[in-house]
Structure 1
Amino acid sequence: MSWTDERVELLKKLWGDGLSASQVAAELGGVTRNAVIGKVHRLGLSGRAKTTTTAPRARRTRAQTTRPPRTNAGAAPTVGANALKVDSKPQAAPQPRAEKKPETDPVVIPISKRASILTLTETTCKWPIGDPGDGDFHFCGHKSEASAPYCKYHSEIAYQPSSDRRRAKKAG
């Protein structure tokens, strides 16, 4: 696509009318938003006409835009000519999220049940316990759920309902 005189004039008109670069690109066709922005800058068309849908913003003074310093919730507001307005409502501290604990008690794994990589079978829980580099690393070894690699306790930890995962993802 080349910038013909007609396309440049149409670009100038649309830009002057307050259309965005994306809108101008759509009107011209065969040109990207970035190409429109580049041409606008090369032509020196940085001044924009105000659109009728947006009202001009009033300029704020520095005093209006600076925030007051944080104060303790129980502190009394300052009195005098330079007093800041203090919100009388105490801010609630964020509460720590309660983690969902499995419904069953933690599994106590007796030494006789601990499984090594060599003793795992299709029916033993394959939940790793400890650091694989340590000498006391082992697997749970309890009887696993049908068609699952883990026992009931470790399955509840490993497989969370999708609604819980979505909730945790939004919170984090």
Structure 2
Amino acid sequence: MDWTAEAIERLRALWAEGHSTAEIGRRMGISKNAVVGKAHRLNLPARPSPIRREAVERPAQPAPMRLPRPVAVASRSTLPAPPASQAAGAPQAANQPQVPPPVPMAPPQPAVVRSFPRFGSARSCCWPIGEPGTPDFRFCSAEATPGKPYCTQHAAVAYVKARDRREDAA
């Protein structure tokens, strides 16, 4: 961009009107970055960020509702022993907080384990056949090529030389 005196004056005028750098660039037929760079070199006054301006113009929104944190309940074995005056069945003082009885916890549920029909052994092909998670899903399980996880047929598909791939792309 060749910044002529007329272009600089137009930039100053559009800047003073409060247009965005992108809008100034569109009106002048130049990039937004060219506008930003020249405005910086001309020491044009900074304008408030459009992000901050929007935050000031918007009405205050209520704070998000926060749920109370769950309170850990101590078991009877971890509670301190009551004073001797209460142990004999004496009524509790009104100013002492009542400790709720512990809530029994449900026994842990076993984790759901998805098992696939056959992963194969070290000597069988583990090429997946079908869609995982469906009843038809299985692995090839043919005799694997020594040193590879697949049978000869699936190894030919899995291991393709870079030269062969280039020829297929052409």
TM range (shorter): 0.3 to 0.5
Structure of greater relative contact order (alpha carbons < 8 Å, 6+ residues apart):
1
TM-score normalised by length of structure 2 = 0.37
Under a length normalisation based on structure 1, what TM-score does the superposition of the two structures give? 0.37
